[in-house]
Amino acid sequence: MSFNTTKFCEEETYDDALAICSVYGMLQSEIAEKGDYTVKGIGVGVDTFFLIFSGTMVFMMQAGFAMLCAGSVRQKNVKNIMLKNLLDACGGALGFYAIGYGFAYGGDDLKEKTFIGNSYFGLRDFDAYAEFFFQFAFAATAATIVAGTVAERCKMAAYLCYSIFLTGFVYPVVVHAIWSSNGFLSAFYAHGEPFRGVGTIDFAGSGVVHMTGGATALIAAIILGPRKGRFYDDYGNPLEEPAHFPGHSTSLQILGTFILWVGWYGFNPGSALKIANEDSAQTAALCLVTTTMGAASGCVSAMFTDSIIDAMKTGETSYDLTMAMNGALAGLVAVTAGCSVITPWAAIIIGTIGGWIYIGASALLVKLRIDDAVDAIPVHFANGLWGVLAVGFFANGGLMKIAGYNEEHEGLFYEWAGDDADGDLMVAQLASIGFILGWVT
């Protein structure tokens, strides 16, 4: 039985009822006067709060990176690495405000595909501040990936210049190509058909953020060379076995990992950008689940695979906390691109493979004598690449439609099942990988 508000207000006489009915009458008058404006305003407010809250969670990941990096280096270098993480946020904010956002999203009024944006510099003629803040948090995340890799061997002034340059120019060009409405690889190209009819699907940035930051870290590690005593002795002769420099605080490492994991709940669901409509809400909720499954499966696969390998070599079984932590982060990075278009079971597969990729890439770096103090390259670069590629296999057409993509070109596994495989989505994913590698290097 429905509640009759009009009858209630006519019959009740006690003070609380009169107060409620007075407010109800005011609201009815407001709605009658302004139509659906009031309802629309509430939706805009909810969407804005959602973006602000998600951006804040993403920015909180800076604390996670700082704690993880600080715990992973020797105690004498803690202040240095903490300052670099702080400079990432500060330099990133200034660089992204001055030119970065303009290069990333400027020129959306042009009805053609462009390589780089050309407006909104210094936020001129721009007032969508929540959107800027959210995108800045992503830019700062891309920049801080490098901090751990080059720990203990990079000058402060050079690092600040790098941070500003990455967030002000290198990263924004990648963003423009894949996320803006004018990008040549964008799935949301607004003035015609996107690349291969579907564009690149990188929902929250496995490629745009993590692969870009990871590729930068790889280049920096090669240029700077290894830490003293890591692969070579004091005379420059190669060591038979690489020296191991254990971090000084396991507690900081695990707390940093958990903070990053929680921050990812702003990173991935927040990339829906809105929440006050059914499709966006469903997409954001799916992202929560796929993000969780990716992290959990990556952690388990990396730790137990490492334990099995160690048992085969030594005959003894041990469980490495570092493998568990980085495996979880690897799984998170791997599902970031497709978190809105993959099912939870697919997220488990992607995260599991992500853990294995982390182990293999970490071992490869050591073999190549490339020194990565926190294994950021295997986590972010290798699994960022895998995450973009995984979308080409596992993207579900129904979920793509809900998330706003063209569902006619879904992942290869679904296309093969339907005997109608054109491979356009996979081509678009490979094109974005090639572009990021070519641009960053």
pLDDT, tens digit only, all 441 positions of the chain: 456 666 666 666 666 666 777 766 666 666 566 555 566 778 889 999 999 999 999 999 999 999 999 999 989 889 989 998 998 899 999 999 999 999 999 987 777 888 999 999 999 999 999 999 999 999 999 999 998 888 888 888 888 888 899 999 999 999 999 999 999 999 998 778 899 999 999 999 999 999 999 999 999 999 999 988 889 988 888 888 888 888 889 999 999 999 999 999 999 999 999 999 999 999 999 999 999 999 999 999 999 999 999 999 888 888 999 999 999 999 999 999 999 999 999 999 999 999 999 999 999 999 999 999 999 999 999 999 999 999 999 999 999 999 999 999 999 999 888 777 789 999 999 999 999 999 999
Count of CA atoms in the C-beta half-sphere (13 A) of 250: 6
Residue 114 one-letter amino acid: T
Report the predicted TM-score, pTM, of the whole model to 2 decimal places. Answer: 0.90
CA 151 to each of CA 9, 18, 346: distance values in angstroms, whole numbers, following the listed order: 69, 66, 35
pLDDT attached to residue 244: 87
Neighbours of 104 (CB within 10 A): 28
Q: Quick one: pLDDT at residue 23?
A: 67
Tell me what pLDDT residue 154 has: 84
User: What secondary structure does DSSP assign to 225-241, as a single string?
Assistant: -PPTTTSB-TTSPBPSS
Predicted pLDDT at 155: 85
Torsion of CA 8, 10, 16, 20, to 10 degrees: 70
Please name which of 359, 342, 365 lies closest in space to residue 298, comparing C-alpha atoms.
359
- Written as six digits, the tokens of 2 are 């429905």
HEC profile for 354-421?
A: HHHHHHHHHHHHHHCCCCCCCCHHHHHHHHHHHHHHHHHHHCCHHHHHHHCCCCCCCCHHHHHHCCCC
Q: What contacts 317, CB < 8 A, 6 or more positions away?
A: 307, 310, 311
Q: How many helices (H) and strands (E) does the chain have?
A: 18, 0
pLDDT of residue 28: 67
